[in-house]
Amino acid sequence: MDIISEKRTRVQLREYDVIDTETTDFPHTYPGYDDAWSQDKFEKKFKVNIIKKEDLNLEYDMIGVDAAITNAIRRILLAEIPTMAVEKVFIYNNTSIVQDEVLAHRLGLIPIKADPRLFEYRQEGDAEGTAEDTLEFQLQIKCTKNPHAPKDATTPEDLFKNSKVYSGHMKWIPIENQGELYKDSDIKTVYDDILIAKLRPGHELDMKMHCVKGIGKDHAKFSPVATASYRLLPEITLLREIEGEQADRLAKCFSNGVIEVVNYPDGRRVAKVKNARKDTCSRNVFQHDDLKDSVKLTRVKDHFICSVESTGALPPDTLVCEAIKVLMGKCRLFLNELDSAGVGRL
């Protein structure tokens, strides 16, 4: 790869700085390179590879796009994909040591398993809500002494009943015809073991909660993801053969699995790059004077490793698809605005 091609396509990590971070694939940036945008060229280059897919976690690669596109999807995931969350708490009785305001805040942060696409946004000023825009939960629990506790018991779990209130104690109460439309497994808290409060004999909670549809930029409790991030694909190039004790030290400079030491039949132990993808951008190798000129660290500018962790309301792959739909809607709106203003498209 020539110097200009490397500057165009790679970010270089050096001992004290990071260079070539800017995007330069624009027309006339470098002589001899046709960097004019074309849809055919983009379609040939653009790829999405699913690396890992689990119930709550998704890792995928986006190849052939600018950082702005990847970051737009990340921001939409955080702030513009709706979920259902507790918005109003009607407290009839709270004799625990947790204040009403703190208790309501904790309840709002409990993720609710309900498909937000099946519900409407609640109208402003509507205090009661309807089956189309509201889910109702009830929490009724009282702590009492355990008459059957062992004589040598010392823990609250043995001494008392209902000493801890968990999210699993929240029960869904169908509104109108919701009981016919949804099963109990469709509407519930994502996790049953989230601690809400600790009680002692005489303490009691009695409350009703209304869950509504909202988005993360209104309140973080509506954000459908715990984390959404991306990073550039790492590249590690060994500029010379590194053997023996140096190879062992080189492997320790990186995360586990990045560098492996291979035993050759002639007895030599040589360092090889096993999986650069696992590198976490460490530059520890530059601390070793005899190694720092033997390794080149770069990142591919248009290859993004994206990670999405869902809170559980929707699967992570569904969230990414919904984020792309929102981004497409924004693009259509922008193009319509250009057309209405009489501005020609490129």
pLDDT on residue 206: 97
Long-range Cβ contact pairs of 66-73 (< 8 A, separation 24 or more): 66/23, 66/302, 67/23, 67/301, 67/304, 70/230, 70/304, 70/306, 71/230, 72/327, 73/306, 73/320, 73/323, 73/324, 73/327
pTM, to two decimals = 0.89
pLDDT on residue 76: 98
Q: Are 175 and 227 in contact (CB under 8 A)?
A: no
Distance CA 42, CA 212 (A): 40
Side-chain half-sphere exposure of 90, counting CA atoms within 13 A: 9
How does pLDDT run along the chain (346 residues), one tens digit per residue? 778 888 888 999 999 999 999 888 788 788 878 888 888 888 999 999 999 999 999 999 999 999 999 999 999 999 999 999 999 999 999 999 999 999 999 999 999 999 999 999 998 878 788 999 999 999 999 999 999 999 899 999 999 999 999 999 999 999 999 999 998 888 999 999 999 999 999 999 999 999 999 999 999 999 999 999 999 999 999 999 999 999 999 999 999 999 999 999 988 999 999 999 999 888 999 999 999 999 999 999 999 999 999 999 999 999 999 999 999 999 999 999 988 887 766 5
Q: Are 60 and 48 in contact (CB under 8 A)?
A: yes
**Measured CA angle at 46 (ends 39, 48), to 5 deg:** 145
Q: Give residue limits of the domains in the chain.
A: 3-79+227-239+294-306, 83-223
pLDDT on residue 344: 62
Give CATH for domain 3-79+227-239+294-306.
3.30.1360.10
pLDDT on residue 125: 78
Read off the DSSP letter of residue 21.
-
| CATH class name, domain 83-223 | mainly beta
Instruction: Fill in the amino acid letter for 89.
Output: V
Nearest Cα to 251, choosing from 229, 230, 236, 267? 236
